Amino acid sequence: MRASNWGMIWTAVMPLAVILYYFFRKKYKDQQVSSTLFWQERMRELQASPYLKKLQHHLLFYLQLAALLFCVLALIEPFSESETLAGNDFIFVVDTSATMLAGAPTHFEQQQQNMKNLAAQAGGKPVTIVTTGISPKVVIRNEQDLEQVDKAIDQLAVSFEKAEIEQTILFADTLAVNDSTIIHIFTDSLDRSVFANKTGQSYHIHGFTETLRNVSIRQFGLSKMDNGTRGIVQLVNNSEEALPATVRLSSGSVEKEVDVELAASEERLVPFEDLPDDMLWQATVEVADDYSTDNTMATYLAPPVREVAIESALHELIASGFRSLSLDVTLLESSQLKPDSGVPLVTNQRDLLEGPTPILLFGRNDENPFKVAGQIETKGHPLFTYASLDEIYVSQLYPPFESYETIATIDDHPFIQVSPKGDIVVLTDVQLTDWPLSPSFPLFLWSAMESLSGDAEFLGYFQPNEHRSVSLASKTGEWEIFREGMYSHSYIEGSGPFIAPAEPGIYKVVGDEKEMTMIVQLNSQEKTLSAGSTYKMGQVEAVQDMVRFSFVPFLIGLILLLVVVEWEVYRRGITTR
């Protein structure tokens, strides 16, 4: 503790004067009394205690003395100094990627504590917190209340997304007020090359130098063989030491496991033969490493189809629409179309509907069209989730199929139908409508391919928090997402893109009486740990500032309290006389 006004030390004579007053004040008066009374008074004088002992009975004296001493102390203005962070305001960039869960305690927990320590040193200067990810988020902006900053830090959570830290730094640069803004980056490791062309701001990178042990499942795939299903698990030992591990594949009640010994930095393929023909499998590696998030991976046996065969006699706008979806398009003559090829076919051949191959039928080769007029009306179906047909003009339609479900009509005439095995029938030719000129046409083709080539019970693979357009339609318009029987969140149709859950794993998407499976997988970059460091980049660091904390307000409060107590002691003394 230091003082900034030593000139007021002379006021210390005031408590000294009170002490002298109590020491030398008159205790007894001389007066004439009878001999007996004189003798008693004399004995009391001889038995009196020394001056200091007498003072023990003088509470009022002590209170006055203490109040005066605190007054003197307040007048010399005592204070304490502590270092504060360099800069006028601060931006905390927080890495919330999955690798921050490595270590014990985790890197994320350690960085939360580091952020609290630095916020306490900010000395009331503004603090902004930004989290990383595909879409960086501002948690708090220019907050000066330390309690609110600590609360925001406690509420931070790992999002499992790819960090995209360079993009987040660019975003943080736009939030900087001026050159005095210091950007603190809390991550596990960050290469210096990221700041090669950055000179406008000062960056303080807080990383970890420790090297952790990690074994990850880099890839997991299934393929159907003549004698059953074969699975392959790719293991990577991202460590500097050999580690024993157990690889386990499970599907329902079926489990198979293999013990392996992984050398330092080794990559190994672990095969599993003669697996049952189950669709959904999960691979797990049991190993004594420091990062368990990448020790599990799931896969679904039915892969999505990425090609389509189109009858060359159809209008070329159909092929152009499919090519815009980045699909492999094959044009075939009518005689070359194979009903058992397994590749979705786009044709007008009515006979091909009887085969096992999924069909998208445009028009009919066995009927003649008739004229129609009116607006298109659609039912709730995944094909129309993103393809609106409101402004489409159709001049003619073909007769419908009696046993097919109608999902779109024009003047009560069937326009689009779905067969019992899932084939899609559009009862018009492309040249009889202006549909290809509408943005909804390629969206409809995409939805049709998802319906024809995908598994009706599998929604797809997603990355954590991924935003994606999916074909979901139900009567209620609401889908609930569950993991291991526990409710996660809901998705409302039409409320925006479908957002995948944050944590990797297997999820169930339930709507009405329909249930689908989705798999959330880590980005491959989140399966590798690397040692980092703590360093500073950018502008030359400013001189460390000092912040003063004055004790005067506390002393004034204490003096007022003593005055109140002193008054109460004085009042009680008067009333007892």
Question: pLDDT tens, 204-256?
Answer: 999 999 889 999 999 898 887 777 788 999 999 998 899 999 999 999 889 99
**Of the candidates 407, 424, 447, which is a domain's last residue?**
447
Question: pLDDT tens, 270-283?
Answer: 999 988 888 899 99
Q: H or E segment at 498?
A: strand 498-499
Let me know whether 427 and 515 are in one domain. no
Let me know whether 439 and 471 are in one domain. no
The mean pLDDT value of the chain amounts to 83
Q: What are the backbone angles phi and psi of residue 416, rounded to the nearest 5°?
A: -125, 135
The 89-94 sheet, strands edge to edge: 137-143, 127-131, 89-94, 181-186, 202-206, 535-538
Let me know whether 389 and 413 are in one domain. yes
- Give domain status of residue 159, yes or no: no
Mean pLDDT of 149-162: 93
Q: Please name the amino acid found at residue 217.
A: I
Domain count, the chain: 4
> What pTM did the predictor assign?
0.65
Mean pLDDT of 478-495: 89
**CATH number of the domain that residue 404 is part of:** 3.40.50.880
Range of the domain at 365: 307-447
- Give domain status of residue 500, yes or no: yes
- Give domain status of residue 300, yes or no: no
For the cut 90, the answer to whether the pLDDT of residue 552 exceeds it is no
Mean pLDDT of 25-40: 56
Q: What is the pLDDT of residue 540?
A: 46
Let me know whether 243 and 329 are in one domain. no
Q: What is the pLDDT of residue 519?
A: 92
> Could you tell me which residue, 372 or 538, shows the higher pLDDT?
372
- Give domain status of residue 197, yes or no: no
How many Cβ atoms sit within 10 Å of the Cβ of residue 572?
11
**Of the candidates 385, 415, 447, which is a domain's last residue?**
447
- Give domain status of residue 112, yes or no: no
Residue 185 to residue 166: CA distance in whole angstroms: 11
For the cut 60, the answer to whether the pLDDT of residue 32 exceeds it is no
For the cut 60, the answer to whether the pLDDT of residue 54 exceeds it is no
How many Cβ atoms sit within 10 Å of the Cβ of residue 466?
19
> Could you tell me which residue, 164 or 4, shows the higher pLDDT?
164
Between the alpha carbon of residue 260 and those of residues 88, 248, 266, 267, 286, the distances in Å are: 55, 11, 11, 12, 10
